[in-house]
Structure 1
Amino acid sequence: MAINVLLFFVPNNYTLTAVQFARETQTNVQRIFYPLLFITQKIAIIFLQNKKEANASFNHS
């Protein structure tokens, strides 16, 4: 990571390291973001199902 940051400022390697840097950043973001997104989705689905059931039982009574 430190080597990439150093190379990042070398003009002739600029495009290569920019791509590497972007790829690494992307994989790091994916590693963190996708599990969070997945968990949030699951919670939202459970929440909506509970809300539907609550509304259904409320309407019946």
Structure 2
Amino acid sequence: MFKFIIGVVWFLITIGALIYVWRSPQSTSAKILWTLGIFFFPVLGPICWILFGDRS
């Protein structure tokens, strides 16, 4: 049950990061690169976006 809860929380964080990526004022190419990073690095992608992504 604990793994399920962690999985759901991580899924919500990933979806939230993707929503913030596509709502940001960055260029389309930057949005695509961030999206690919989030998908190909499912643990580090959202963390990197939170730390380094949108600086506005």
Query: TM-score scaled by structure 2?
Result: 0.43
Higher RCO (CA < 8 A, seq sep 6+):
2
Q: By percentage of residues, which structure has more helix?
A: 1
Q: Which has the larger radius of gyration?
A: 1
